[in-house]
Amino acid sequence: MNLQNITSLTIGIGGAGSSGLVYIDDIRLYPSRCIPEKVPGDLTGDCIVDLDDLAVIADNWLKRPLSVEYKFDSGFLDTSGNNRHGVGQNNPTVADGILKLNGTNFVDIPLGSDNPFDGSRDFSIAMDFKTDTPGILLSSARNDERENHSMSVYVHHWDEPYSGEVIYDNYSVGSATVEDDPLDGEWHNMVVTYDADRELFIVYLDGMAGEATEMNPPIPGVTADTVRIGGSLNIAYPYDESVNDLTGDIDNIRIFNFTLTQVDVNRLPIVPTGPADLNGDGVVDQADQDIVEANIGPEKLWP
């Protein structure tokens, strides 16, 4: 039978108590192929569950996908499981599950030496915001000495296009633009991802991705300090004369320990599963190792 010339196939059903026709169309033959998502326990993408996958489990042992999560349903409590509860500065308020800032108050995140923004590892930042003026959404810095370093995630516009950006030491390293004004006093979303291996930033504004941007100059040392929501930690760097500390609202702010994909961004505020968290319970532990060990064996191709 030459399958290449078949446009449809009709099969008669015979046998005791049976009758009728089954119509089959669009028949395709594929060679066996590697589809990692079809192989439980494959964390390296080679369709083989082996010691390399167990090594991924070990590298991520007890790691949670979230470094910080503030839903603001219970003040400044961190709901990531890491107990990094926010510290209010100048009396910020929470009302109806929303952080409200007036340009003079902030919430600091006590990450300390676990600050991910030194560029040595993957991270992602996601938040919802509402404002009608350009403002800093999040910043990180060693201190406010000019010779030291700082980072800022902010939203602004130059009439058009409207832009969300990441800057380090007054140098823009990534941006995304949208057609609709994100400074219209309505809710919008900003996501920033960083891939440490490739040293690439991507900024997403309302789900629209900017171009992947290589970090140049390299990310400065911002390792052992606080991260601030709504304002700059380094007042020596104004970033831009039109961008001030945030006057507006913030909700669902999350810092991830891995690089979100476009699919992850589109699914927010649902928290995606982190690397090696095979059972999706929010932490890499014995249950995930058990899944790998149960599937160790020869290469598994599909179909």
Q: Can you give the residue ranges of every domain in the chain?
A: 3-59+282-294, 66-267
* pLDDT(9) > 60: no
* pLDDT(161) > 80: no
Mean of pLDDT over the chain: 84
129-145 pLDDT per residue, tens? 999 999 999 998 876 67
* pLDDT(282) > 90: no
Of all residues in the chain, the percent with pLDDT exceeding 90 is 42
> What is the structure's pLDDT at 110?
92
Q: CATH classification of 66-267 is 2.60.120.200, yes or no?
A: yes
Mean pLDDT of 74-80: 94
| pTM for the whole structure | 0.77
SS (H, E, C) the chain: CCHHHCCEEEEECCCCCCCCEEEEECCCCCCCECCHHHCCCCCCCCCCCCHHHHHHHHHCCCCCCEEEEECCCCCCCCCCCCCCCCEEECCCEEECCEEEEECCCEEEECCHHHCCCCCCCCEEEEEEEEECCCEEEEEEECCCCCCCCEEEEEEEECCCCEEEEEEECCEEEEEEEECCCCCCCCCEEEEEEEECCCCEEEEEECCEECCCEECCCCCCCCCCCCEEECCCCCCCCCCCCCCEECEEEEEEEEEECCCCCHHHHHHCCCCCCCCCCCCCCCCCCHHHHHHHHHCCCCCCCEC
pLDDT band for 1, please (50, 70, 90 cuts). Answer: very low
Mean pLDDT of 275-282: 84
* pLDDT(2) > 60: no
Least confident of 2-11, 49-58, 142-151: 2-11
